[in-house]
């Protein structure tokens, strides 16, 4: 295998994660979050990292974002090793406070464009407005985040991430804090956006139905520490078989919970 | 249903037709005049002020002793006379000039200190140790040393003012920075920000509620300290400030003028708190929903 694949090769992987072991320190312990994880993401993938809490999926996403360095292995984006956060990997977080409360919706979407120096002036503004329109928030451009609902805040965050047109959009359980109805609507909207732009997204979730609905490829991780259990293809969205999703869900559920793991409760992972 | 639910009372489902909203009649009803007036904060406070003024006036008249407790009206007359003659305004301006320089220098030093605290852990330790040491130290307690170092004059005043502003602003800014959420920090890093841009575009606005609190506390400390220090040595170069005005008039037993001077001190405090800082708050932290 040639480790430094051709960067310009359109058939090659966009993101290459090889043997990545992630560790972080708490006050008393050195915790291994993931152990030698390998996977590859290709252009326009809707790639889902799925696993129970404690499988290090969020930590893994943060490592791709460049927020922590693997103790072993490496992460390459377009052939270049990821060493620090950067605007080529825009991140959408779960927390509603990811928007800057002192900026309006428009200014929030505009911020990374101008702060990173990607665009300025009129061009930046047009780009921001274009993506705000895509998430249907044109009416709210001049609102401050505290006036928006949770779902709207997440839409702004998604618009902000997408307006940068990053190589890959990283979403860390973006809908986990939303109510079930809003969540479903947001999932549909995400797929609609993908139909328009075909962006590459890595999506972390612990919900099996969400993974099947939103993802095209699903990486299953086992907990404590996270290791790759399988990489599955999701059910095609135009699948004629109405029971395919249900079957896949059962299959994933069996794979994840076959060896009964004791539930240690929600672990706060960094 | 199965026998598991046998204890439940069986009953049919219910379906209803909704009534259109035009059939409800009144949904919103305007508040009564009293309720609306009561909702105006400024009006409530004005009423309190009027009540206090009336109590003052009545008490002053009962005592009937201008040397101990001049009435509200007498104080107001002295106040207006002081302003008309220009003396009170000159003293006020003398005080404010010193105040502004001390406040500005204090904020500048606080900015430098917190910048150092962001840049390195030694800087953080330095800031935390210094604020722990000097924040509890009353500025007035430094006056004797200031007098020896800077002599009688504005230098000494500015020195104690800087001391009273610096620590509260630095402490609040520092704790505000510490309280900035990890998510916002990561957003900043995600946009490729670092160094000064990261501090000025993410940390400072995110910590602005704390910074503003620091500025307010610093202002109150500074104003108090200034008036108190002037009482001790406002006499330099013939033009003392408000504190000196109060002290001078006490010596001449012009107690109504003393009250007028105190009145001015309170008035400036109210104006800065309720106009300047309120406007800043309304345009920033309140508008952003970071404070209610």
pLDDT of residue B291: 79
Give the residues of chain B that fall short of pLDDT 50. 1, 237
Task: Kindly state whether A84 is in contact with chain B, defined as any CB-CB distance less than 8 angstroms.
Answer: yes
pLDDT of residue A202: 94
Inter-chain CB proximity B289 and A85 less than 8 Å: no
| Residues paired with A49 in a beta bridge | A204, A219
Task: Kindly state whether B195 is in contact with chain A, defined as any CB-CB distance less than 8 angstroms.
Answer: no
pLDDT of residue A105: 94
Task: Kindly state whether B179 is in contact with chain A, defined as any CB-CB distance less than 8 angstroms.
Answer: no
Do the Cβ atoms of A154 and A186 come closer than 8 Å? Answer: yes
Nearest to A65 by CA among A92, A98, A25: A92
Inter-chain CB proximity A144 and B189 less than 8 Å: no
Closest CA of chain B from A83, distance in Å:
12
Task: Kindly state whether B238 is in contact with chain A, defined as any CB-CB distance less than 8 angstroms.
Answer: no
pLDDT of residue B179: 92
Residue A217: C-alpha distances to residues A184, A228, A242, B148, B251 (Å): 19, 13, 19, 76, 87
Q: How far is CA B237 from the centre of its chain?
A: 31
Query: Which residues 6+ apart lie within 8 Å of B96 measured at CB?
Result: B268
| Residues A152-164: tens digit of each pLDDT | 999 999 999 999 9
Q: Can you say whether residue B30 is alpha, beta or left, with left for phi > 0 and alpha for psi between -120 and 50 degrees?
A: beta
| Residues A214-243: tens digit of each pLDDT | 999 999 998 888 888 888 888 888 877 778
| Residues A112-147: tens digit of each pLDDT | 999 888 888 899 999 999 999 988 899 999 999 999
Residue B156: C-alpha distances to residues B112, B170, B215 (Å): 22, 21, 22
Looking at the domain that runs over B86-283, which CATH code has it been given? Answer: 1.10.3720.10
Q: Look over chain A and give the mean of its residue pLDDT values, rounded to a whole number.
A: 86
* Size of chain A, expressed as the number of residues it contains: 270
Task: Kindly state whether B45 is in contact with chain A, defined as any CB-CB distance less than 8 angstroms.
Answer: no
Token code pair at residue B60: 């002053």
Token code pair at residue A42: 């290709």
Q: Is A46 helix (H, G, I), strand (E, B) or coil?
A: strand
Inter-chain CB proximity B192 and A101 less than 8 Å: no
Inter-chain CB proximity A102 and B205 less than 8 Å: yes
pLDDT of residue A2: 46
For chain A, give me the number of helices (H) and strands (E)? 7, 10
Q: Give which of B181, B185, B191 to mutate to test A binding, by max A Cβ within 10 Å.
A: B191
Q: Residue A105: closest CA among chain B residues belongs to which residue? A: B288
- What average pLDDT does range A102-112 have in this prediction? 94
Residue A147: C-alpha distances to residues A31, A143, B286, B287 (Å): 39, 7, 12, 10
**Gap between the Cα atoms of B66 and B69, Å rounded:** 5
In what side-by-side order are the strands of the sheet with A80-81?
A30-41, A15-25, A72-77, A80-81
| Residue A4: pLDDT over 50 | no
pLDDT of residue A8: 52
pLDDT of residue B27: 66
Task: Kindly state whether B206 is in contact with chain A, defined as any CB-CB distance less than 8 angstroms.
Answer: yes
Contacts of A145 in chain B (CB under 8 A): 289
**Gap between the Cα atoms of B78 and B223, Å rounded:** 22
Token code pair at residue B28: 């919103």
pLDDT of residue A9: 60
| Residue A7: pLDDT over 70 | no
pLDDT of residue B192: 87
Q: Residue A99: closest CA among chain B residues belongs to which residue? A: B184
E strand map for A1-86 = 15-25, 30-41, 46-50, 72-77, 80-81
**Gap between the Cα atoms of B185 and A12, Å rounded:** 33
Nearest to B139 by CA among B121, B151, B157: B157
Contacts of B187 in chain A (CB under 8 A): 91, 93, 98, 100
Closest partner CB to A85 (pick from B184, B189, B202)? B189
| Residues paired with B273 in a beta bridge | none
pLDDT of residue A157: 94
ipTM: 0.85
3-state percent breakdown (helix, strand, coil) of chain A, nearest 5 = 35, 25, 40
**Gap between the Cα atoms of B82 and A254, Å rounded:** 88
Q: Residue B200: closest CA among chain A residues belongs to which residue? A: A115
């Amino acid at each position: 295998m040639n480790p430094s694949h051709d960067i310009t090769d359109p058939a090659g992987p966009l993101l290459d994660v090889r043997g990545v072991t992630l560790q972080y320190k708490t006050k008393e312990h050195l915790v291994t979050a993931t152990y030698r994880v390998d996977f590859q993401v290709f252009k326009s993938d809707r790639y889902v990292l799925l696993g129970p809490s404690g499988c290090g999926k969020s930590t893994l996403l943060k490592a791709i974002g460049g927020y922590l360095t693997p103790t072993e292995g490496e992460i390459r984006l377009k052939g270049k090793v990821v060493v620090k956060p950067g605007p080529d990997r825009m991140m959408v977080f779960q927390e509603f406070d990811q928007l800057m409360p002192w900026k309006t919706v428009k200014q929030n979407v505009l911020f990374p464009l101008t702060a990173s120096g990607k665009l300025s002036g009129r061009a930046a503004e047009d780009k921001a407005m274009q993506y705000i329109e895509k998430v249907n928030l044109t009416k709210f451009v001049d609102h401050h985040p505290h006036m928006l609902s949770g779902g709207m805040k997440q839409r702004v965050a998604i618009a902000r991430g997408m307006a940068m047109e990053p190589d890959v959009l990283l979403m860390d359980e973006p809908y986990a804090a939303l109510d079930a109805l809003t969540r479903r609507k947001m999932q549909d909207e995400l797929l609609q956006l993908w139909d328009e732009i075909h962006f590459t997204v890595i999506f972390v979730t612990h919900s099996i139905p969400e993974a099947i609905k939103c993802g095209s490829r699903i990486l299953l991780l086992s907990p404590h520490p996270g290791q790759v259990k399988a990489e599955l293809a999701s059910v095609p969205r135009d699948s004629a078989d109405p029971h395919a999703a249900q079957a896949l869900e059962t299959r994933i559920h069996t794979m994840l919970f076959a060896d009964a793991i004791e539930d240690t409760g929600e672990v706060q992972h960094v | 249903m199965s026998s598991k639910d046998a204890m439940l009372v069986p009953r049919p489902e219910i379906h209803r037709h909704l009534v259109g909203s035009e059939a409800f009649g009144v949904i919103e009803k305007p508040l009564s005049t009293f309720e609306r007036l009561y909702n105006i904060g400024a009006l409530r406070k004005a009423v309190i002020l009027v009540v206090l003024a009336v109590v003052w006036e009545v008490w002053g008249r009962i005592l009937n002793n201008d040397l101990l407790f001049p009435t509200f009206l007498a104080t107001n007359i002295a106040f207006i006379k002081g302003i008309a003659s220009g003396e009170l305004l000159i003293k006020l301006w003398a005080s404010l000039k010193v105040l502004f320089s001390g406040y500005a220098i204090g904020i500048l030093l606080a900015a430098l200190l917190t910048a150092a605290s962001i840049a390195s852990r030694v800087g953080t330790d330095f800031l935390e140790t210094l604020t722990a040491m000097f924040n509890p130290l009353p500025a007035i307690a430094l006056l004797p040393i200031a007098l020896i170092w800077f002599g009688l004059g504005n230098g000494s005043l500015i020195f104690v003012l800087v001391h009273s502003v610096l620590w509260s602003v630095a402490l609040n800014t520092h704790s505000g920075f510490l309280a900035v959420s990890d998510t916002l920090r990561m957003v900043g890093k995600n946009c490729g920000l670092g160094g000064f841009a990261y501090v000025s575009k993410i940390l400072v606005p995110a910590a602005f509620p704390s910074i503003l609190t620091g500025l307010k506390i610093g202002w109150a400390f500074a104003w108090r300290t200034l008036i108190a220090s002037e009482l001790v040595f406002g006499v330099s170069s013939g033009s003392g400030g408000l504190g000196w005005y109060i002290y001078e008039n006490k010596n001449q037993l012009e107690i109504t003028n003393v009250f007028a001077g105190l009145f001015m001190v309170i008035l400036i405090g109210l104006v800065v708190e309720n106009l300047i800082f309120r406007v800043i708050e309304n345009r920033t932290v309140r508008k952003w929903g970071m404070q209610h």
